Chain A
Amino acid sequence: MTELKGGALLEARQVVVRFGGLEAVGGLDMAVARGAIHGLIGPNGAGKTTVLNVLTGFIRPTAGRLVFDGEEIGGLNVNGFARRGLARTFQNIRLFGAMTVLESVLVGAHQRFSASAPALIFGGRAARTAERAMIARAHELLDFVGLRHDIADRVATTLSYGHQRRVEIARALMSSPKLLLLDEPLAGMNAVEKQEIAELVRQVRAQGIAVLLIEHDMQIVRSLCDHLTVLEYGKLLADGAPERVLSDPAVQAAYLGRAR
């Protein structure tokens, strides 16, 4: 597993995360292929969200390297990760309160704006054109995630949970990422909503964007993911195709425990 072929979009090599004396992630190697839907699974407390936080720059690993699209990204700030093309959503949806759907989604395009303060104040033509283009793009993406246009001016946090999840995904897509990282995108949804979001994830992949997701519903994971990485105690337990990984006795034991 340490040797990786050049095809990987994102590679983590020997990543270690320690909190005080506790080792949350221990020497993890993993690779997300271009165009893949990659599942990151494991029992509670296995370190999945920690790994996702490492992969998005939220946690700087104690040791190890991160290579994204051929570039070393380990030393960047969180916004640097976003600027390189890693966009994420959060386990507990984190939309900006008091912002409308359109405004929230536009924040995702932050790096595409460049007008200076005088240009903004005195109304530069370029500034206006950029704003218009991004608003148009935001509407396209709202369409893409399955939200109706009349929702654009509603305050995002007043929407239903499922809609908020979609707004969050649209916001992440607004930065035109190469990799979308979703932390439990299906949590708290009913079976129908889960299938809808799963379908949306497939459409994202169809746009050429790779997806890494944490999910607990194995039924969905089985049908949605091309590749699974299983963690236990912060270490790699299994890695490979879903059917093979999920029937692995070690993986089953990680979830269900072992009979004594």
Chain B
Amino acid sequence: MTGAGAGTGIEGRNGPTTAAAALTCRGLTVDLGDGPVVDGVDLDLRSGEWLGVIGPNGAGKSTLLRAAAGLIDHGGDVSLPDGRRPGPLDVAIVPQIPTVPDTMTVAEYTLIGRTAHLRWLAGESAADRRIVGDTLRRLDLARFADRHLGSLSGGERQRVVIARALVQDAPILFLDEPTSALDVGHQASVLELVDDLRHADGLSVLAVMHDLTTAARFADRLTLLDRGRLVTTGPPIDVLDDAGLSDVYGTPLTMRIIDGDPVVLPTPRHATPNPEETLP
């Protein structure tokens, strides 16, 4: 059963493989005081790709993301193609649990995304406001612009957070479990939105994702982390290997190919044999 999907020809969907790097991490290490949380991770985010980061709870996914964005102290090297360390003009982040003050309006919140573009102590210029207006319209948020964040639904709020990240106008977008608080319909629509934006604007996306099937569906490549270490990186079909996943997650998992896409399911410990397996 292992590797059952290999050679089914679905790699072709999984994006460019020869593109230049948008961001490179070498030996990325984060120690928050009780031993390394992220331990010597090498990562190449290719230009224009969607790289999914997966792994069990506590594997260091979010920490890896925050370190790569330069939000926390870390060892090792994170660099852009020109050798600089990434800053807010290079990387925009949609956090796992964004702080959205209830009484802030959508327009106020989105304008905050322009901070890195403002001159010292200056306010937003007409150009900044135009970018924010265009982005809100593009994400179908124009009619919410004067609403308070507290009055929005979870899906609407997540779109606003993405709008805030987009107006930052950075070529790289980091997403930290962007849909963990949403139902399956809103999950899909938020991820579709990010995917559309990625193609339209040529963004490179690094996304920590919880749901392996969804990750496989949206990401060009996946990186599997376990206890801070990188286990493997590659096309979803290769990374989502039964034995490897079961080992990392500590529970038996089964990967199936359904209509050309890998789907990961828990294997019940006392499962009756799957009738499909007995088919020739």
Do the two chains bind?
no
Q: Mark A residues whose CB is within 8 Å of B.
A: none
Which residues of B come within 8 Å of A, CB atoms? none
